[in-house]
């Protein structure tokens, strides 16, 4: 099942959910209205919720948040980090260049700042929650250091990627230092350099600590793109082909407060798909680092100015499940208690069934039950799940005997005992 989230631009209140076939794939089309106040509990999976939430933030084009005291990225838009996988490195950790410079490059995607595929050489990455809507709430998020309306070669600038560009003879500085505080002033200055990307100034005072001024400067960087898109056919094309750029302060490795909303991938007709890399990132985050379930979302960037980005959750893309059971109940059989569990839809189709995560989920739900502790635990729930998932994945129900032991047994022995050694 695939979920595609589309806005129909209708008045609030109405919402239509239907299932259809698109290019041979069973797809759920979710038409969203009342985007500012919609709740997502009616959707089937947590990944559906995230795809819908991403769409809501994408379509929200507010100028500021918190009554004008916080920049728009606190409550709208999507901060996106394109990554490239390499052995021995988690995608969310800073690379050597970011550690050295003190800044990390992001793009900021909203309906009023749209662009096509921002980096065709990188097909996956992660998306941050708007800081004011992080789940769970965070005490300290990476500071947004500066915002450029267009890609500005930030990897070759000083001041954490916000200052002078090394490849030009001129000395670039912040917009504020040039007395540029509005989108109109920025466009005038940019056109004086014939639209040279490396010579543009960036808005430096855009973090939450600048309060109203920070909100105004960040929105000026967004509005400047909108003005360029309306300036001329050539500027419209050039701007649409060029993403914006934010620089965030570099964080320590494996931070507790990085508000990752989703891992994402794109499909490119020439370079292929980033799905496999996104799947590895999800495994690293959820399984290896024991973080909360975080879905993989496919992003389809607009091909033309008349289109919008689409965010798609597909259960078959996931490498881990948010939950492995829909239900579990105790039954007494031959004087001993068994748990009869109903596998979730995800657990029956996910490519790699995580028996350790399934065992942890079951023990968390029922480990304190009196039935669980009538007999000493056999510590074989993981082995039982591994056997059942490998040999009876599509069963409507599984039986788990918490008191059985698999000590000294191979998987062949467990299978020979009908997965209950």
DSSP 295-355: -EEEEE--SSTT---EEEEEGGG-SS-S-SEEEEEEEEETTEEEEEEEE-HHHHH-SS--H
Q: Are residues 148 and 93 in the same domain?
A: yes
Does residue 179 fall inside a structural domain?
A: yes
Task: Say what percent of the chain tops pLDDT 90.
Answer: 61
pLDDT of 223 strictly over 70: yes
Domain boundary among 288, 317, 346: 317
Tell whether the model's pLDDT for residue 329 goes beyond 90.
Answer: yes
* Residue that wins the pLDDT comparison between 379 and 144: 144
Residue 359, pLDDT above cutoff 80: yes
Q: What number of other Cβ atoms are within 10 A of residue 288's Cβ?
A: 10
What does the pLDDT average to over 395-406?
90
Task: Report the C-alpha gap between 361 and 346 in whole angstroms.
Answer: 14
Rounded to an integer, what is the distance from CA 342 to the centroid of its chain? 29
- Between 381-391 and 355-366, two packed helices, what is the crossing angle to 10 degrees? 130
Q: 347 pLDDT exceeds 60?
A: yes
Helix (H, G, I), strand (E, B) or coil at 83: strand
For residue 118, the 8-state DSSP code is S
| pLDDT attached to residue 37 | 35
Burial of 144 (0-12, 13-18, 19+ CB in 10 A): buried
Q: Say whether both 174 and 79 belong to one domain.
A: yes
Alpha carbon distance 248, 343 (integer Å):
41
Helix (H) or strand (E) holding 21: strand 16-22
Q: Is residue 85 over pLDDT 80?
A: no
Evaluate whether 262 touches 297 at the Cβ level (below 8 Å): yes
Q: What is the pLDDT of residues 59-71, one digit of tens each?
A: 999 999 999 999 9
Residue 44 is predicted with a pLDDT of 54
Beta bridge partners of 332: 337
Quote the mean pLDDT of the chain: 86
**Residue 245 pLDDT > 70, yes or no?**
yes
Looking at residue 22, what is its pLDDT?
40
- Per-residue confidence (pLDDT) for residue 403, from 0 to 100: 87
Q: Is the pLDDT of residue 367 over 90?
A: yes
pLDDT score recorded for residue 406: 81
Comparing CA positions, the residue from 127, 161, 156, 157 lying closest to residue 144 is: 161
From the list 176, 144, 175, 171, the residue with the least C-alpha distance to 160 is: 144
pLDDT higher than threshold 50 for residue 364: yes
Per-residue pLDDT tens for 194-210?
888 999 999 999 999 99
Q: Tell me the Ramachandran region of residue 2: left when phi exceeds 0, alpha when psi lies from -120 to 50, beta otherwise.
A: beta
Is there a single domain that holds both residue 291 and residue 245?
yes
**The predicted structure's pLDDT at residue 30:** 43
DSSP state of 215: H
Residue 396 forms part of a structural domain: yes
3-state SS assignment for residue 262:
strand
Measured distance between the N- and C-terminal CA atoms of the chain, rounded to whole angstroms: 35
Greater pLDDT, 137 or 16? 137
Q: How confident is the model at residue 231 (pLDDT cuts 50, 70, 90)?
A: confident
Give a yes or no: residue 264 inside a domain.
Answer: yes
Domain boundary among 265, 292, 317: 317
Neighbours of 228 (CB within 10 A): 23
- Is 339 found in the same domain as 279? no
**CA atoms within 13 Å, Cβ hemisphere of 278:** 28
Shared domain for 364 and 395, answered yes or no, is yes
Quote the pLDDT of residue 187: 96
Non-local (6+) Cβ contacts of 85 within 8 A are 91, 124, 277, 280, 281
Mean pLDDT computed over 94-117: 93
**pLDDT tens, position by position, 269-307:** 888 999 999 999 999 999 888 898 999 999 999 999 899
What's the pLDDT band for 75 if we cut at 50, 70, 90?
A: very high
Question: Model confidence at 40, in pLDDT bands (50, 70, 90)?
Answer: very low
- Residues 271, 333 within the same domain: no
Q: Are residues 334 and 205 in the same domain?
A: no
Whether 287 and 330 share a structural domain: no
Mean pLDDT within 176-196: 94
Q: Is 111 helix (H, G, I), strand (E, B) or coil?
A: helix
Which pairing describes strands 25-32 and 2-7: parallel, antiparallel, or unpaired?
A: parallel
**Position 421 in a domain:** no
Please name which of 4, 13, 14, 47 lies closest in space to residue 322, comparing C-alpha atoms: 47
**Which domain-ending residue is among 259, 291, 317?**
317
Same domain as 348, residue 271? no
Q: How far apart are CA 205 and CA 49, in angstroms?
A: 33
The domain total for the chain is: 2
Range of the domain at 100: 2-317
Asked if residue 284 and residue 375 are part of one domain, the reply reads no
> What is the mean pLDDT of the segment spanning 145-172?
92
The pTM assigned to this predicted structure is: 0.82
279, 348: one domain: no
Does the pLDDT at position 213 exceed 90?
Answer: yes
Distance between CA atoms of residues 76 and 58, nearest Å:
7
Instruction: Name the pLDDT band for 24 (thresholds 50, 70, 90).
Output: very low
CA quadruple 148, 153, 156, 162: dihedral, nearest 10: 0
**Is 107 in contact with 80 (CB distance < 8 Å)?**
yes
Residues 224 and 311 in one domain: yes
């Amino acid at each position: 099942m695939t979920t595609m989230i589309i806005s129909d631009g209708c008045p609030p209140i109405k919402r239509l959910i239907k299932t259809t076939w698109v290019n041979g794939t069973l797809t759920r089309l979710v038409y969203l209205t009342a985007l500012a106040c919609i709740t997502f509990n009616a959707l089937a999976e947590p990944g559906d919720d995230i795809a819908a939430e991403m769409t809501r933030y994408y379509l929200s084009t507010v100028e500021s948040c918190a009554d004008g005291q916080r920049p728009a990225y606190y409550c709208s838009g999507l901060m996106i980090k394109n990554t490239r996988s390499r052995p021995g490195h988690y995608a969310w950790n800073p690379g050597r260049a970011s550690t050295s410079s003190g800044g990390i490059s992001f793009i900021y995607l909203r309906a009023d700042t749209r662009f096509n595929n921002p980096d065709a050489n990188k097909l996956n990455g992660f998306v941050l929650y708007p800081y004011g809507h992080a789940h769970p709430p965070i005490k300290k998020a990476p500071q947004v250091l500066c915002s450029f309306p267009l890609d500005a070669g930030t990897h070759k600038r000083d001041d954490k990627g916000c200052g002078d560009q090394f490849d030009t003879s001129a000395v670039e500085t912040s917009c504020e230092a040039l007395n540029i505080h509005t989108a109109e002033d920025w466009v005038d200055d940019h056109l004086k350099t014939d639209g040279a990307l490396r010579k543009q100034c960036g808005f430096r005072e855009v973090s939450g600590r600048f309060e109203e001024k920070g909100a105004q400067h960040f929105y000026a960087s967004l509005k400047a793109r909108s003005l360029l898109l309306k300036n001329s056919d050539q500027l419209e094309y050039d701007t649409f082909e060029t993403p914006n750029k934010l620089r965030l302060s570099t964080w320590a490795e494996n931070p507790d407060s990085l508000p990752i909303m989703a891992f994402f991938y794109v499909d490119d007709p020439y370079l292929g798909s980033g799905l496999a890399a996104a799947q590895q990132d999800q495994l690293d985050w959820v399984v290896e680092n024991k973080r909360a379930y975080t879905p993989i979302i496919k992003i389809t960037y607009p091909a033309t100015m008349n289109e919008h980005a689409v965010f798609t959750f597909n259960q078959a893309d996931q490498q881990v499940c948010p939950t492995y059971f829909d239900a579990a109940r105790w039954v007494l059989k031959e004087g001993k208690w068994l748990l009869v569990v109903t596998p979730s839809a995800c657990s029956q189709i996910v490519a790699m069934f995580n028996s350790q995560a399934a065992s942890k989920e079951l023990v968390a739900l029922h480990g304190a039950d009196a039935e669980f502790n009538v007999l000493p635990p056999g510590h074989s729930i993981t082995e039982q799940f591994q056997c059942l998932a490998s040999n009876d994945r599509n069963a409507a129900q599984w039986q788990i005997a918490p008191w059985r032991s698999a000590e000294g047994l191979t998987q062949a022995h467990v299978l020979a005992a009908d997965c209950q050694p």
